[in-house]
Structure 1
């Protein structure tokens, strides 16, 4: 049997790039870190970070991911549900298949992974879900994406209530407009986001990673069932 890792261990889904990658790099400073990826090969991560290829919408994969993490590290202390999908859903060109796949990734996959990980989560563990300001600010032509994130936030509160007696905290982060490398935004759209943000800039993946670190830490020991908006004052 694997000897439990001396440090706490964080499992981060969808962390091959962008915000998830920033989380992995930040948490790896003082945590053991495992990430999942589906389509994009991880790049620029330390060899100490365990990368697990999976499809979390496949019913068999969450248990396999947890088993891989436990075999490698011997424990899980922080579960970060970052993997997500954004699909347009205009009413005049609705794609049921794409919409169902998005709901599977954004809502059902976090639940499935939590169910698989729960036997290994002890009192003091933290679950952090990555939502979006679009949960309360519906995006034009992508209302189902907003609805999926609203469902994730409601699930966050419900699971926080359910797991509170076990000493497990569950929170969510709702990023605003974040400047990530693979976001193919025209400059005019970037400027619209900046103009709509009180702090006058786009957010960075490091802004979200720092918030994850806070919610995973003892500094947030009495915070659960909350959605922390990290948007620089987007659309105030």
Structure 2
């Protein structure tokens, strides 16, 4: 069976890395990273078929990224827009336009640009998965622009699903909640605050997010498009 080729942005660490770990055994992967070159190199040592591309999505040329994938593998079957930018935001009365533009660009405009660049190469049956956030529905007071950027990505997901349905290209999103993680540990107080608001009384797991993405990329999800799937342990049900 031909191994599907998937491009995953922001896959050297965090959610993107978890997605890459889940897909690598039976997919050929291209991954992007911004600064985590060592982490990307370790992944490539573990999975030698992987193509790692350095890319700052604030300025990267999406057409060039897709061209690199095609040059290496000769095809592209799916795209996972996992790279994201979250940063400490000033209060509304000290709004930082440059920071807001960076957040919106990386989290919404760059994924749309990559989708556009990928479309000439995606076959019928191709799949796109965008990583959004529960903050699209529950924007924090400390990061309103981030919440807005993820809400924009959810709307782009649904709009693209409508537009690309006639081409049998599916577009979905996964919206993680607070994630149990070792790369940026949370305080016990913060963990309790999150878990108290979940139906399962725990944080979501990285692997749970990754498995949701794997499902949406697969033929098992062939009838699913335009869906935003929360993986949040039942946050604020």
TM-score normalised according to structure 2 size: 0.93
Deviations, residues 10-54 of structure 1 (Å, cap 9, x unaligned): 100000101100101111111101100112225231222211011
Shift of 1:209: 0.5
Shift of 1:187: 1.6
Tell me the residue number matched to 1:75.
Answer: 75
Check the 8 A contact 1:15/1:42 in 2, yes or no: no
Tell me the residue number matched to 1:26.
Answer: 22
Task: Note the aligned Cα RMSD (angstroms).
Answer: 1.4
Query: Relative to structure 1, is the Cα distance of residues 20 and 42 closer, same or farther in structure 2, using a 3 angstrom cutoff?
Result: farther
Q: Distance in 2 between matches of 1:169 and 1:96?
A: 34
Unaligned runs of 5+ in 2: none
Tell me the residue number matched to 1:47.
Answer: 48
Counterparts in 2 of 1:31-180, with a 5 A limit? 31-43=27-39, 44-45=42-43, 46-58=47-59, 61-87=61-87, 88-180=89-181
* SS of aligned partner of 1:28: helix
Q: Which runs of 4+ in 1 moved over 6 A?
A: none
Query: Relative to structure 1, is the Cα distance of residues 13 and 104 closer, same or farther in structure 2, using a 3 angstrom cutoff?
Result: same
* SS of aligned partner of 2:37: coil
Deviations, residues 165-192 of structure 1 (Å, cap 9, x unaligned): 0000000011011122222422210111
Check the 8 A contact 1:76/1:121 in 2, yes or no: yes
Unaligned runs of 5+ in 1: none
* SS of aligned partner of 2:180: coil
Tell me the residue number matched to 1:8.
Answer: 4
What is the count of residue pairs matched by the alignment? 231
TM-score normalised according to structure 1 size: 0.94
Q: Distance in 2 between matches of 1:201 and 1:35?
A: 30
Q: Distance in 2 between matches of 1:215 and 1:42?
A: 29
Query: Relative to structure 1, is the Cα distance of residues 199 and 187 closer, same or farther in structure 2, using a 3 angstrom cutoff?
Result: same
Query: Relative to structure 1, is the Cα distance of residues 162 and 147 closer, same or farther in structure 2, using a 3 angstrom cutoff?
Result: same
Higher mean C-alpha deviation, range 89-98 or range 225-234:
89-98
Deviations, residues 46-103 of structure 1 (Å, cap 9, x unaligned): 2222110112232x52111111111111111110000011132421332111111000
Check the 8 A contact 1:172/1:227 in 2, yes or no: yes
